[in-house]
Amino acid sequence: MGAEADAIAIVKGLGFTDFAAPLWMLGFALAQGLLIGLERGWTAREDSPGTRVAGLRTFGIIGLSGGVAGLLPVLTGAMMMAAVSALLIAGYIRQSANPATLSATSMAVGLLVLMLGMMATTGHGQAALGASAVVTLILSMRKNLHGWLRGMNEPEMRSAARFALISLVILPLLPDRAMGPFDAWNPHQLWLVVVIVCGLSFAGYVAGRRVGAERGLLATALFGAMVSSTAVTANYARRLRSGDGPPDILTAGIALASAVMFARVLVLTGLLAPFALPMLAKLMVPALLTATVLALIATRGRVMPSGMGAVELGNPLEIKAALGLALLVAVLGVISHWAMQAFGHIGVAGLLALTGLADVDAAIVTMGNIAPGTLDPDLAGFMLALPVLLNSLFKAAIAIAFAPGRPGRQAALPILASVAVSAIVMVALWRY
C-alpha cells in the first residue's frame, strides 16, 4: 500500500480530492492503453472479422486492469496481474494454431500495457504515458524499421554491436581521473571522444550507403563528408579526370563536402572544446556559407543524376581505427602540454596546424584536452581555425593534383574561396 499512498498523495497535491485522486490515476492507466490500442487497431483495420485479436478496446481494458491492480492491496494486485498475464499468454498460445495471424508483438505489447497501467496508479503516471507514446511510435514505424533491417549488411551489424560495446561497456569502466605525463590522460574522457567521433562518422557512413547511391552525387558528398571530406574530394576529383559524371555536379559535390566539414568542425568543437566555439564560429560560418552558395550556383538549372555509385569509405567503427584515434589523441595530449610549457601558445598553435593537415578531429580533441582557462577563448578559436584552413588548402591541392588542368582548378575554386573569406574575417577580427 505504500506505493498507492504515495501516488494518491502526489495526485492530491495537484488539488484533487480523496475521491477524485484514484480516478485520475485510473484515467492515466486507461489513456496509455487506449493510445497503444489506437495504433494496434489501426494496423489491423483491414483484417477480416474474427482474425483481429486486440485493438483499441482490448488494450484500453488491459491498461485499466493494470491500474486497478496498482490500487489494490499488494497480494491481491499481484494475483490480478498474474491472472491477466496468464490470459494474454493463453490467447497467444491459442492464436499460434493459425500462424498467418500470429503476432508475438501484440502479446508482448499487451503485457507492457498491463505493467504501464500499474505504473500509472503507483506514482509514475507521467512516466507511463511517456513510455506509451514511445511504444506507439515504435509500433507505427514497423515498415520503416523492417525496410532498414532488410537493407542492413553484415559489416553494419557488426559495427553497431561494436559501437554498443565501446559506448555502453568500455566507457563506463574507464577511470575518470587525470594520469600519465603532465596529467594529460583522462581515460574516460579520452574514450568518450572516441565514442563521439566514431558515432558521428558512423552515422554519416550508414546514411551515405543508404541514400548516396540512390539519390545521386550530391547526397553522397553530403553524407560521405561526415566521415571524410578528404575521401569525397579525392574521389570526385578522380571522376572529373575520367569524365565519370557531370563536371558541374562533381564540383558542387566537392564544395558541399567542404561545407559539411566546416559544419562538422563546429559541432565537434561545441562538444569537445566549447570555450573555443564562439570565436571559431565567427571564422568558420563565413567559409561554410561561401562553400554552400557556390555549390548551389554550380547546380543551378542542372539535372541531378542518380545511381552514380557511392564513395568508397572505410568503416569508421573498425576497432583498429578507433584505437588509432585514441592513441593519436593520447600522444597529442602529452605533446600539447609539453609544447605549452616549452613554447607557450606558439608551440600549441604549431602542433594544431601540423595535426590538422592530417586529421582535423584530432586537432579539436587536442584543444579540448587543454585545461580550461589555460588559453584565452578567442585565441583558442583562432588556433583551431588555422588547422581547419590548412586542411582545406590540402584538399584543394588534392583536387588539382587528381584532376589536372581546368577541371581541377574549377573544383578547387570553392574551397579556395571559402578559405579566402575565412582568412579575411580572421585578419579583420585579429586586428580588431
Full pLDDT tens readout for the chain, 432 residues = 455 555 555 554 545 455 567 788 888 889 988 988 888 878 766 666 555 556 778 888 998 999 999 888 888 888 999 998 888 888 777 766 666 556 677 788 888 999 999 998 888 888 888 888 998 888 888 777 777 777 777 777 777 888 888 888 888 888 888 777 766 677 887 787 778 777 767 776 776 666 655 456 777 777 777 777 887 888 888 888 877 778 888 888 899 989 999 999 999 899 888 888 999 999 999 999 999 999 888 887 665 555 555 555 556 566 666 677 677 777 777 777 677 677 776 777 777 777 776 678 778 877 877 766 777 888 888 888 988 998 899 889 988 988 888 888 888 999 999 999 999 999 998 766
The answer to whether residues 90 and 53 touch, using CB atoms and an 8 Å cutoff, is: no
Among 174, 205, 207, 202, CA closest to 190: 174
CA angle (272, 364, 220) in 5-degree steps: 95
**What is the DSSP code (8-state) at residue 312?**
-
Neighbours of 52 (CB within 10 A): 17
pLDDT score recorded for residue 214: 45
pLDDT score recorded for residue 93: 77
Beta-bridge partner residues of 13: none
Cell of 165: 560495446
Q: Which residues lie below 8 Å from residue 403, measured CB to CB, with a gap of 6+?
A: 237, 238, 240, 241, 411
Q: Which helix (H) or strand (E) holds 23?
A: helix 20-43
Q: 309 in helix, strand or coil?
A: coil
Integer Cα distance of 31 and 183 in angstroms: 54
Rounded to the nearest 5°, which phi and psi values hold at 16?
-85, 155
The answer to whether residues 218 and 253 touch, using CB atoms and an 8 Å cutoff, is: yes
Integer Cα distance of 179 and 170 in angstroms: 18
The answer to whether residues 381 and 282 touch, using CB atoms and an 8 Å cutoff, is: yes
